[in-house]
Amino acid sequence: MENSELIKMISNNPYAIVSIDHPTEEMKLAAVKSNGLLLEYIDHPTVQMQEAALENHARAIKFIEHPTEEMMLNAIQSGWTNLEYIKHPTRAVIDLAISQAGWAIKYVDHPSEELQLSAVRKNYDAIKFIAEPYESVQEAAVRIHYEALRFILSPAFHTELIAVQSNEGAIKFIHDLNKNKILEFLKVNYLVIKYVYNEVTKDELEMVLKEVLSRENVDEKYVRDYINYNSSDPGSFAPIDRLMLVHQYGSRKAKKIAVDEKLRQK
């Protein structure tokens, strides 16, 4: 069969290149122009063939042994998932992928703290792809969304505190709870009581409240949550006179917030 006929055949069915012995450069180029992934079957492709393959299908980067940075960037520009097929990406290539989706961090070997932070700031749940995230990365993720805590295998205690302070529901993702931790969590978010009321005594709760409410920099939300907590809910410890406790042990700020909250309810 003449070359022209073979090229026409390849244009109609690019997979025909696989069955042709010793295809010409023109045939190879025609094949990858029609289907870039056929680069897999091209021996010793030229730069022109590689570029043509990439233009047709970005995933063809997988079959380029030593791609230039420009080739890698073009592949990532078409989709961050193509980072999976790049063996030795440059920092610029990695940055571009993570700027598209933090989940791209799963294709980065031993990512630096800076890269980890970039990833979770883009998508907080990208932390699930980081085997041993730096504590700063853990904290950044849970500050964005407390549910990031569920993806951290061994979170630092301060990370847990930040998550619980943000949302009491974060306590559901902590698997090594003990009395000391529970009391510390109650100090940053009173609503944790909903989940741990069977784990603390009335005296322990009063001890926590006296310490927190006496602070001059007590968090306003904490005081309002404490005052408003539904007395019919379990763990409310109804025998505690909440306003009296604030009056006796609360700082000036705590008393002001408590009075304001009660007046607001009238």
pLDDT in tens, 158-169: 999 999 999 999
Q: What residue segments make up the domains of the chain, in order of their start?
A: 180-266
Could you tell me if 10 and 16 are in contact, meaning their C-beta atoms sit under 8 angstroms apart?
yes
pLDDT in tens, 77-122: 999 999 999 999 999 999 999 999 999 999 999 999 999 999 999 9
Q: What is the mean pLDDT of the chain?
A: 93
Instruction: Count the neighbouring beta carbons within 10 Å of the beta carbon of residue 71.
Output: 21
What 3-state DSSP class applies to 7?
A: helix
Residue 13 dihedral angles phi and psi, to the nearest 5°: -140, 85
Supply the pTM of this predicted model: 0.87
How many Cα atoms are found within 13 Å in the side-chain-facing hemisphere of 37?
4
| Per-residue pLDDT, 13 | 86
pLDDT in tens, 8-40: 888 878 888 888 888 899 989 999 999 999 999
Q: Tokens 């920099």 sit at which residue?
A: 217
Instruction: Count the neighbouring beta carbons within 10 Å of the beta carbon of residue 186.
Output: 25
